[in-house]
Amino acid sequence: MTEKESYTVIPELSERLKQTIVGVHRERGTEWIAGFGELLRHCEERWGVRWREPYPPSYHFVAPVALPDGTEAALKLGVPGKELLAEAETLRIYAGQGAARLLEADPERGILLIERLKPGRTLHSVPDDEEAVAIAAGIMRKIARPAPERGMFPSTADWAGGLGKLRLHFHGGTGPLPERIVERAEKLYAAMHATVRQPLLLHGDLHHGNMLSAEREPWLAIDPKGVIGEAEYGVVQFLLNHLPEQNAGKVIERRIGQFAEELALDKIRIVSWTFCHTVLSAWWHIEDNSPGFEAALQTVHAVEELLG
């Protein structure tokens, strides 16, 4: 089979992705699924794309495509909203430095056409944790940008407001999350945001799965959320990803030390942000009805031990 012939797939949404989309977006997700075929035809007519098998599903449909001039790209489709608008703008600001290039975008329709990264191995493929942290730190240096004066980007303070939704959802309570832990996260979030020093435009989701091996640079970032916060918050998602079942707290602590040294960050602020975010992340699992809450709660306890 030639490379040209391999781009003959008729894309379909997996049942898993459909369930995720409806779980997150409710009625808007159902409507988007119903219009998926029309969206594919729009992409074919606008850019002349030919499809290959989509990547494993997460929260969006993403598939390798070929353009008429032979360029290989990745086409990302999702329910239109603030998240895809922020991702498109963040990629524009990065301009290919430390991250995949944005080739075309129609975020109002939920469409992003992005540089395809090859060979495209995730950072999970790097077995040595210290090496993986060093790679991530290098990418963070390249994508570091001051916070734009204006824009559509949420802030980490906006994210923290999600804990208010938790209490609303449970009629003032905290559901399966211990009240003590939620109260501590709420108070610490407020104290941390009151003392933010230099806000930056952060990737917002820079974990192992969002750094891929590439050709023009050894590793590049993908899928930025685009969020305003301080540098210490920017390492949190990496800290919480790809952890062993045993001694996760020790691994997180070692990573914090390495990031602090390589990026000249404040260890105490990293730990504080990490604790707050683990509590928020546990709530997101509840809100999105997604698996992983129990593991998230275990991580909350592990990070709280580091906090003291």
User: Across-strand partners of 50?
Assistant: 66
Q: Which of 115, 150, 175 lies at the terminal end of a domain, its last residue?
A: 115
106's enclosing H/E stretch is strand 102-106
Which domain does 109 fall in, by range?
3-115
- The mean-pLDDT minimum among 104-108, 123-127, 287-291 falls in 287-291
Q: Which residue has the higher pLDDT, 131 or 24?
A: 131
pLDDT for 208 beyond 50: yes
Based on the domain organization, do 95 and 166 belong to the same domain?
no
CATH of residue 15's domain is: 3.30.200
Residue among 14, 81, 11 at smallest CA distance from 42: 11
**Domain end residue (candidates: 115, 143, 176):** 115
User: How many domains in the chain?
Assistant: 2
Instruction: Report in angstroms the alpha-carbon separations of 146 from 175, 192, 233.
Output: 38, 19, 14
Last residue of a domain, which of 93, 115, 137? Answer: 115
Single pTM value for the model: 0.92
% of the chain exceeding 90 in pLDDT: 87
Choice between 8 and 152, residue whose per-residue pLDDT is larger: 152
Residues 26 and 77 in one domain: yes
pLDDT level of residue 31 (50, 70, 90 thresholds): very high
pLDDT at 1 over 70: no
Confidence of residue 180 (pLDDT cuts 50, 70, 90): very high
Taking residues 4-29, what's their average pLDDT? Answer: 84
- Asked if residue 270 and residue 137 are part of one domain, the reply reads yes
Q: What is d(CA 168, CA 54) in angstroms, rounded to the nearest whole number?
A: 37
Whether residue 221 is found in the same domain as residue 247: yes
Statement to judge: residues 18 and 110 lie in one domain: yes
DSSP string of 72-91, one letter each residue: EEEEEE---SHHHHHHHHHH
pLDDT at 4 over 60: no
Considering the domain architecture, whether residues 161 and 216 belong to the same structural domain is answered as yes
Angle between helices 248-263 and 267-287 (to 10 degrees): 130
Q: State whether 76 and 140 are in the same domain.
A: no
Q: Any idea what DSSP says for residue 150?
A: S
- Say yes or no: 206 and 225 in one domain: yes
Specify whether 297 is located in the same domain as 219. yes
pLDDT in tens, 48-82: 999 999 998 888 999 999 999 999 999 999 999 99
* For residues 10-15, average pLDDT: 89
Q: How would residue 2 be classed by pLDDT, with cut points 50, 70 and 90?
A: very low
pLDDT given for residue 288 in this prediction: 79
Are 219 and 258 found together in one domain? yes
Mean pLDDT of the chain: 94
Same domain, residue pair 218 and 272: yes
Domain CATH code at residue 237: 3.90.1200.10
Q: Which pLDDT belongs to residue 6?
A: 58
Please give the average per-residue pLDDT across 195-202, as a whole number. Answer: 96
Please give the full DSSP string across 274-298, using - where no structure is assigned.
Answer: HHHHHHHHHHHHHHTT-S-HHHHHH
Q: Per-residue pLDDT averaged across 229-244, rounded?
A: 97
Question: 179 vs 55, 190, 274, CA distance in Å?
Answer: 39, 17, 18
pLDDT at 246 over 90: no
Q: How confident is the model at residue 289 (pLDDT cuts 50, 70, 90)?
A: confident
Q: What is the per-residue pLDDT for 8?
A: 64
Q: Are residues 73 and 98 in the same domain?
A: yes
Which of the two residues, 8 and 194, has the higher pLDDT score? 194
